[in-house]
């Protein structure tokens, strides 16, 4: 069976030719069907860029391949990719406050998605939208359909976005820090919802986050990213119990935990970070000088 997502040697640069910055430096990653993979790393590690490269955001893919269920997403013609997006591959965006259209009612926005991919009638789409909202445990879904995004809470908006992500039975969901903008109690509910829907729909999830606690809770496997490189990957339990890479160890030591005193917290040593970055830049120079 082909993997849900297979990324090989992905290099991504952003910006124009003259001042482009490497963001991903040869990332490889395999995601089996139904697998939940946590992608962790500090700000600027390239974790969001990895998610965006799969979706058509303004990323320039310099090298590498991205295969979705055995089909090459990079070489795929635009209309074909558009028919996959939102239907087979879905995104749960980072910020629920700004990811909904401010002047369209919730129902109308879900209907756009459903009508685009499933060719439903307007009435049928609204019916289905109400069912979807009920599935993410929104009470009075019919009333919520009538509301504008600014009239519902942040947690509820994130639920609407989750409902939209799972609306067309995707086999791959990219969750780009879906809990970052939410407070801790709402975070927990959102995580449980994602987990519940994932099981129901059997989708693979690429869960991008900087929160190791979240990864420990819902991800079976995890990937540690830094400076656009994969430093370590494996089963979550194993990586957290026996981290092999010094960066992963440092990251764990810097994570606050309820069962340890706050004094035990140690920041990631600056020397380690510096080392990793200079390694990454050395790699860049090698690539530039490389195929001459």
Partner 1 sequence: MVDLALDSALGPPSSWIAGLKRGGPRLWVGAALVSVLVLAALLAPLIAPHDPLEQDLMSAQLPPAWVVGGDLAYWLGTDSLGRCVLSRLIYSARTAVAVALIAASLAAAIGIAFGLIAGSFGGWVDQATSRLIDVWMAFPPVLLSIVLAAVIGAGLTSVIAAIVVVDWTRFARVVRAETMVQLQRDYAAAARVIGLSRSGILRLEILPNLIPLVVTLLAVEMGIAILVEVILSFVGISVAGDTPTWGGMIAEGRQIVYQAPWIMALPIGCIITSVIGFNLLGDGLRLVLDPVQRR
Beta carbons of 176 and 91 less than 8 angstroms apart: yes
CA distance 229 to 26: 6
The number of residues that bind partner 1 (CB under 8 A) is: 49
Give yes or no for residue 56 binding partner 1 (CB under 8 A).
yes
The nearer residue to partner 1, 174 or 276, going by C-beta atoms, is 174
Give yes or no for residue 181 binding partner 1 (CB under 8 A).
no
| 3-state class (DSSP) for residue 46 | coil
Give yes or no for residue 118 binding partner 1 (CB under 8 A).
no
Contact pick of 85, 250, 253, 283 for partner 1 (by CB under 8 A)? 85
172-176 and 204-208 as β-strands: parallel, antiparallel, unpaired? parallel
Contact pick of 20, 101, 121, 275 for partner 1 (by CB under 8 A)? 101
Residue closest to 3 by CA, chosen among 70, 52, 49: 70
Binding region for partner 1 (CB under 8 A) out of 118-126, 136-144, 211-219, 284-292 = 136-144
CB of 37 vs partner 1, minimal distance in Å: 19
Residue closest to 50 by CA, chosen among 224, 292, 219, 168: 224
Give yes or no for residue 146 binding partner 1 (CB under 8 A).
yes
Give yes or no for residue 104 binding partner 1 (CB under 8 A).
yes
CA distance 160 to 133: 7
CA distance 171 to 154: 26
CB of 180 vs partner 1, minimal distance in Å: 13
Give yes or no for residue 276 binding partner 1 (CB under 8 A).
no
Give yes or no for residue 200 binding partner 1 (CB under 8 A).
no
The order of strands in the sheet holding 204-208 is: 89-92, 172-176, 204-208, 36-40, 221-226, 229-235
Residues at the contact surface with partner 1, assessed by CB under 8 A: 55-57, 81-87, 90-91, 93, 95, 98-105, 112-113, 116-117, 137-140, 143-144, 146-148, 150-153, 155-156, 159, 161, 164, 188-189, 192-193, 196
């Amino acid at each position: 069976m082909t993997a849900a997502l297979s990324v090989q040697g992905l290099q991504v640069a952003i910006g124009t030719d003259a001042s482009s910055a490497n963001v991903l430096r040869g990332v490889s990653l395999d995601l089996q069907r139904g697998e939940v993979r946590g992608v962790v790393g500090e700000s600027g590690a390239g974790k969001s860029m990895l998610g965006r490269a799969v979706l058509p955001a303004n990323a320039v893919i310099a090298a590498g391949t991205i295969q979705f269920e055995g089909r090459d997403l990079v070489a795929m013609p635009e209309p074909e990719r558009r028919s996959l997006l939102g239907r087979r591959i879905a995104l749960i965006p980072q910020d629920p406050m700004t990811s909904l259209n401010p002047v369209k009612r919730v129902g109308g926005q879900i209907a756009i998605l459903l009508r685009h991919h499933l060719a439903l009638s307007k009435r049928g789409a609204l019916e289905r939208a109400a069912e979807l909202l009920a599935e993410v445990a929104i009470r009075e879904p019919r009333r919520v359909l009538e509301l504008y995004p600014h009239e519902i809470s942040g947690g509820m908006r994130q639920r609407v976005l989750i409902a939209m992500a799972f609306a067309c039975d995707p086999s791959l969901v990219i969750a780009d820090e879906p809990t970052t903008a939410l407070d801790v109690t709402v975070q927990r509910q959102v995580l449980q919802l994602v987990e519940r829907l994932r099981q129901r729909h059997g989708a693979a999830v690429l869960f991008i986050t900087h929160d190791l606690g979240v990864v420990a809770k819902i991800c079976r496997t995890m990937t540690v990213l830094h400076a656009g490189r994969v430093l370590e990957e494996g089963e979550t339990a194993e990586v957290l119990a026996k981290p092999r890479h010094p960066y992963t160890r440092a990251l764990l030591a810097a994570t606050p935990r309820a069962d340890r005193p706050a004094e035990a917290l140690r920041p990631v040593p600056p020397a380690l970070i510096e080392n990793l970055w200079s390694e990454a830049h050395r790699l860049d120079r090698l690539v530039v000088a490389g195929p001459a």
